[in-house]
Every structure is written in C-alpha cells, then in structure tokens.
Amino acid sequence: MRLQKLRNIGIAAHIDAGKTTVTERILFYTGVTRKVGEVHDGEATMDFMKQEQERGITIASAAISCNWQDFQINIIDTPGHVDFTIEVERSLRVIDGMVALFCAVGGVEPQSETVWNQADRYRVPRIGFVNKMDRTGADFQAVVSQMNEFLDADAVPFQLPIGSEEDFNGIVDVIKNKAYIFGDNERQEIEIPAEYREETDKARELLIEKLSDFNDEIMELYLDEKDIPYELLKKAARSAILKLMITPVFTGAAYKNKGVELLLDAVIDYLPSPVDVGAVVGTDADDSEKTYTRNPSCKEPFSALAFKLINDPYVGQQTFIRIFSGEIKSGVPLMNSTKGKKERVGRIFRIRAKQREEISSAKAGEIVALIGMKATKTGDTLCDINDNILLESIHVPPSVIELKISSENKNDRKKLGEALAKLSNEDPSFHARYNDETDETIVAGMGELHLEIIIDRLKDEFRVEVEVGEPSVALRETISTEIEHKYRHSKQSGGKGEFAEAVIRFEPNKGNGYEFVDKIKGGVIPREFIPAVSKGLQKTMTEGILAKFPIVDIKAVLLDGSNHAVDSSDRAFQTCASVLFKQAFAKAKPILLEPMMKIEISTPDDYIGNVVGDLNKRRGKIDTMRRFRKGAQKLNGYVPLMEMFGYATTLRNITSGRANYSMEFYQYEPLPKAVQEDYMKKQAEKAEK
C-alpha cells in the first residue's frame, strides 16, 4: 500500500509561467513551510542558490518531499530557461508524472514545447495547469486550443475559470459538476452559477465523449442518456491519463492562492504511483541483447539511477538517485554497472530543498541523496552486486557556446582545475578543457546565461578569480565525402616493436554521431584488437584537425588489415587507427558545422518587417508565423548561433523594447563555404599573433 500512496512528480514549463510560485504554495498548504516564500523577494524555498535569488529564476532542479491527504509527494521543481534544459531532462527521466504549467497570457511558449517533447521521450503522464488567470489578457480556452494545436496534447478541460483577469474568483469542476469560489484564504463549494451552466455542459459532454472512447460502461450510459457516476468518470479519466490518451487541464492563480489545493487533489487523483508505472526494463551490463525487468517492489534486487550530483560544502558530494526496485541501507556495497566499479553507501539523506534528513534506509519508489559515491556520475546505474542491470541513461544535449577563461594567480590555477572538475561532475552539459598551445582553459555550455552562472559560481563558491574572454560558438568538424584509406604502423626500437595495419572506409553520418562497423574476415585483425581500433578513432575525434573542434557524424567501416604475432598490441592498433584517421580526414573534404538554433520571437504587428529583415541579415529563416493575441504575432524559425551575439539589445532597439525571444539548440549544419573560409582565415591570423 505504501507505494500506491507515493507520487514522484515534476513541475515544468516555460520561464516565468510560475513553477516556483506553484511549488511554494504547495509547500505552504502541505505544511512543509509556515510562510510562503516569494521568488521576487529572493526567499523561495526551492530557489536557494545565490544566483537564483539574484535573478529570480530557477537554475537547478530542487527536490522536496511533502504530504497531502495521507499521500507522500516528492516534487522536483525544474528550471524554465532553455540554458538549463539538462536539469529538466534528468528530472523527467526519474519522475512518474508531470504538472505542465502554462501562463494564461503567454500560452504555449517555446520551452513549453521542449519540455513536452522531453516528457514524450520518457512517456511521462501529465496534467496541465493554466496559471496566472488573474493577469490582464488571461485566456483559458486559447491556451487549451494551443495545447492541442502545437503540442498535440489531446487537452480536455477538467476545470473552467469563473471570471478572468481581476475578476477571476472561482473554478468550475467539470467532472464533479460543482463550483468553488475563493475567499480570503479559503474556498467555498457552491452550485455552478447559471451563466456558466451552458459552458460547463459543453465541457462535460466533451469529457464524457473522450472517456467513452476508452470505457464501454461510460459509452453505454452516454448512449442511453443516463447520468454517469462521478467515481466511474474519475476511474476512466485516471486510466486514460496514465496511458497518455488525454491531458486534463486545470486552472488557477498560484500567486493569489487560488486553485493550488485543487491541483494537489488532481495530482493524487490522476498522476501515477510507482506501481502504476510498473517495471523498468534494463539490459545486461556485459550483453546488451539480454534484457531484465525490475518491478517497483522492495523484494526485488536493488536498482537505481543517479540523476544529479551536488557538491555540498558540509557533507561533500551528494549523489541523487531514484530507486526503481529493492532497498538500500547505509554501509552496504553496490555495483555501478555503467562503470563496472563497486561503490559503498556512506550516508543516506532525504532532501528538503537545502535541508537534509539522514535516514538509515530507503526503498523502491523513493528519491534520496547518497554520500560516499566515488565513481558515480549523472546517468549511471547503481544495482545489487549479485544482480547486474544497466538502465536507460539520460540524454545530454550538446554544448553550443564557449568561453576562454584564465587565472593570473598561480595558486588559483590549481583551484580552478579542481572547481571545473566538480562543476563538470554536477552538470553533464558543461565541459572544460585545457589548451596547451594557448595556455587557456576553454569552458563550454548551453548558452550565455549558463556560462555566466558558472563564472559566478567559480567566484562565489570556489573563491577562484578568473579573467573571461569573449564568448564564441562551439563548432564541430566532419567530412563531406566518403574515403577509403590504408595505413601500416611499424616501429622497431631494439626490443619488442609495434605493428598494426588497417584499412578503413569513412562515410558522412549526418545527425547520427560516431558509428563503428567491423567487417573483418578471416581474423586478419584478431578479435581482441578490434575495440582498440575504435578506441583510437574516438580519441582522435575529441580534438579536430581543421580548427581543434570535436569531430562528429562519421561512420567508420573496418574492412581489412594485418597483424604480427609478437609486435601487435592494443596500443599499436590504437596508434595505427589514430594516424590513419588524421590522414584520411584531410582528404575527405573536411567541413565545419555550426549550431543552428530554433528561435521564437513574439512581436507586435508594427515591427514584423524590422524583425524579419534583421533575421535575414543574420542568415536566419522564418518557418511559421502565427497570431497569439490581438495585434501581436509569434515568428518561428532557425538561425545560426554565430550570428546571435548581442541580439537581445538589437531586438530591443528595433521594436522599442516591445518584442521578446527565446532560442534553443536545433541541430548542427554545415557552415556556408564563404563563412568557413573567412573563419579559417581569421583563426590563422590569430595564430600568427
């Protein structure tokens, strides 16, 4: 029964839709906090990082537990800014259900679509909550229509607002056929006002029609024009929601304390418990063809996924895990099946935002933090030592923007390396590397704000002063034509020598990353050396040949080769593959790839010409235009990140400050030939200086 009374949920949406405000109200109503923390005051419980409080936005996903109606709810409040999309990604991988928030004025925004697609990837059941019904321009039905049009959500109103904007003062519960009026810190149940009867009847008929598609009993009662009991409707609705067949839509105004308690009821009624989600499927760590299942039960072997790392100044590294099966106790050894290494649990904490509660054990379905993990990183599987399983990892988007940083102080240089290693451990979308030739450290992330936060944290948390260069775009390198190449590596130095020979065909592999195909016949390269060929290629691809950017999207087909009974080794074949690749790459018409961004611009009609003209100058292209409110349109398109530095200022200037935009990574595309030539020329000039 314990697992059925557990809800692991995430709250996700576009920036400024009110996620943290909703969470703060939930914590207040469930008794976790006695005072409501406000984002604008920098006192939100869930935004406890200094950088979050200064900017009034959520940067890191925060976990907290609360209780409602004898149910335990574990909530993860996620960021809305696209630069921190990895936080949403890893949260969605471990939650069972999601509350998707929408602003009643803004509707479906770009990050709303990103979050929705991420939830689709992990098949997370969700409910919609249209927030800010008290704001000027609030339009509940417009948001529901946008959910259907742009998200393909099959959105069905389970509630209707009574009034809107400053007149918003109540909610009609469509499924219960009742209404609630909000007073000072209390709500009163009433009969549905006469002026909302017709709208409610239409919404109720739509709801019953939808549910009758999935429930024969409802279908019969509906066709016989008989009343359908509330409990039957609720049971059928829950089943349809868990199967992702419909998205129920609720509404309210969290800042004014309206509708949040009813939202909590909906979380209990309609979002899944770990039992509803059922078994997770994993593979054998040594044989990906073998699959295993783990049911959400304490009696099954232990399995969990590490989804977040935080460095705490008091207890050290905290490794957040979601337990899918079994039980864990302090001091017990575990296996990290991703790394093939043993770990030992030091201490176990239940986390309440920045506060910790130490516990001796944790069971299936729970989200806890472990102390003492040495090798475990984000996306790693932890399991029983005697029952190996490898769970699906976490998708990490590529970093698209770079900064050069340096430290004049010798003492700070060592501290800088240690700090960057800790930050990279915490955030898999952040990378740092050292360039020996220029004596500079290069950091890469998801956007300008992402790197700005990293620099802030270096100074505040790690006390490292750094000088920051201009941001630049993280390009990639690849080949544009197929090539077959042969290379023999032979080295004699008195004792045992080195020998390896390989023939490899390289093919462009657009959008599919690195792929290795073994077509060796007759054992000309022994089986034990073939992984070394792939390893040699992958090592060489980390730093490109054109401009030292990582090489991507290449298929390598190993065709032939030869070996020596004494002199061949892993090292020899790695070296052979590396030199072979460098030689072949230079002949395969190498090109640079640039990150293309998906952009959405909201602008008044008066400035559309200015906005489109400026975007064209930046090599951008408009894909669609749609009206989202009277006198204003949303433009969707694609634009190279290279052309977008300083765009916020330009957009403000050409629209008198009345337009706004958001961007997210779309894909890598080839740099136009003229732009590549110009880029390479500038790099050569810099190198000469």
Closest CA to 130 of 110, 111, 108: 108
Share of the chain above pLDDT 90, in %: 45
Q: What is the mean pLDDT of residues 13-21?
A: 78
Quick check: 559 pLDDT over 90?
yes
Q: What is the mean pLDDT of residues 47-59?
A: 39
Quick check: 451 pLDDT over 80?
yes
What's the pLDDT score for residue 571? Answer: 94
Q: Check: CB of residue 480 under 8 Å from CB of residue 461.
A: no
**3-state SS, residue 352:** strand
Span 668-687, pLDDT tens digits: 999 999 999 988 888 888 76
Quick check: 275 pLDDT over 90?
yes
Query: Which pLDDT band holds residue 47 (cuts at 50, 70, 90)?
Result: very low
Q: Mean pLDDT, the chain, as a whole number?
A: 86
3-state secondary structure 266-332: HHHHHCCCHHHHCCEEEECCCCCCCEEEECCCCCCCCEEEEEEEEEECCCEEEEEEEEEECEEECCC
Query: Which pLDDT band holds residue 396 (cuts at 50, 70, 90)?
Result: confident
What's the pLDDT score for residue 438? Answer: 59
What's the pLDDT score for residue 543? Answer: 87
What's the pLDDT score for residue 187? Answer: 83
**Distance separating alpha carbons of residues 485 and 588, to the nearest angstrom:** 10
Write the CB contacts of 260 (distance below 8 Å, at least 6 apart in sequence). 22, 25, 26, 29, 252, 254
Quick check: 160 pLDDT over 80?
yes
Query: Which pLDDT band holds residue 52 (cuts at 50, 70, 90)?
Result: very low
What's the pLDDT score for residue 377? Answer: 86
Which amino acid is located at 104 in the chain? A
Query: Which pLDDT band holds residue 1 (cuts at 50, 70, 90)?
Result: very low
Element containing residue 574 per DSSP (H, E): helix 570-587
Paired strand residues for 11: 77, 99
**Distance separating alpha carbons of residues 498 and 571, to the nearest angstrom:** 8
Query: Which pLDDT band holds residue 35 (cuts at 50, 70, 90)?
Result: low
Query: Which pLDDT band holds residue 303 (cuts at 50, 70, 90)?
Result: very high
For the CA atoms of 532, 535, 540, 543, the dihedral, rounded to the nearest 10 degrees, stands at: -160
**Distance separating alpha carbons of residues 578 and 535, to the nearest angstrom:** 9
Structure tokens at 541: 């691809």
What's the pLDDT score for residue 42? Answer: 43
Phi-psi region of 128 (alpha: psi -120 to 50; beta: other; left: phi over 0): beta
Query: Which pLDDT band holds residue 630 (cuts at 50, 70, 90)?
Result: confident
Strands 247-251 and 126-131: parallel
What's the pLDDT score for residue 485? Answer: 97
Query: Which pLDDT band holds residue 45 (cuts at 50, 70, 90)?
Result: very low
3-state secondary structure 470-508: CCEECCEEEECCCEEEEEEEEECCCCCCEEEEEEEEEEE
Q: What angle do CA 616, 617, 619 make, to 5 degrees?
A: 65
Query: Which pLDDT band holds residue 436 (cuts at 50, 70, 90)?
Result: low
Cβ atoms within 10 Å of 500's Cβ, excluding its own: 31
Phi-psi region of 576 (alpha: psi -120 to 50; beta: other; left: phi over 0): alpha
**Distance separating alpha carbons of residues 650 and 222, to the nearest angstrom:** 57
Q: What is the mean pLDDT of residues 410-433?
A: 82
What's the pLDDT score for residue 62? Answer: 53
**Distance separating alpha carbons of residues 451 and 441, to the nearest angstrom:** 13
What's the pLDDT score for residue 431? Answer: 84
Residue-by-residue DSSP string for 96-120: SEEEEEEETTTBS-HHHHHHHHHHH
Quick check: 660 pLDDT over 60?
yes
What's the pLDDT score for residue 326? Answer: 93
Give the residue with greater pLDDT, 76 vs 473: 473
What's the pLDDT score for residue 157? Answer: 96
Write the CB contacts of 43 (distance below 8 Å, at least 6 apart in sequence). 37, 53
Span 596-612, pLDDT tens digits: 999 988 888 999 999 99
Span 323-332, pLDDT tens digits: 999 999 998 9
Query: Which pLDDT band holds residue 214 (cuts at 50, 70, 90)?
Result: confident
Q: Which of 38-47, 257-266, 281-290, 519-528 has the lowest mean pLDDT?
A: 38-47
Span 503-552, pLDDT tens digits: 999 999 998 899 999 999 989 999 999 999 999 999 999 988 888 889 99
Quick check: 82 pLDDT over 70?
no
Quick check: 418 pLDDT over 90?
no
Query: Which pLDDT band holds residue 54 (cuts at 50, 70, 90)?
Result: very low
Which residue is associated with the tokens 């050409």? 654
Q: Among positive and negative, which fits the CA dihedral 599, 601, 606, 607?
A: negative
Query: Which pLDDT band holds residue 33 (cuts at 50, 70, 90)?
Result: low
pTM: 0.70
Phi, psi of 130 (to 5 degrees): -85, 105
Give the residue with greater pLDDT, 302 vs 29: 302
Quick check: 16 pLDDT over 50?
yes
Give the residue with greater pLDDT, 163 vs 58: 163
Q: What is the mean pLDDT of residues 352-373?
A: 83
Q: Which of 15-24, 119-128, 219-228, 257-266 has the lowest mean pLDDT?
A: 15-24
Q: What is the mean pLDDT of residues 12-30?
A: 81
Residue-by-residue DSSP string for 406-460: E-SSHHHHHHHHHHHHHHHHH-TT-EEEEETTTTEEEEEESSHHHHHHHHHHHHH
Which residue is associated with the tokens 């574990």? 74
Quick check: 201 pLDDT over 90?
yes
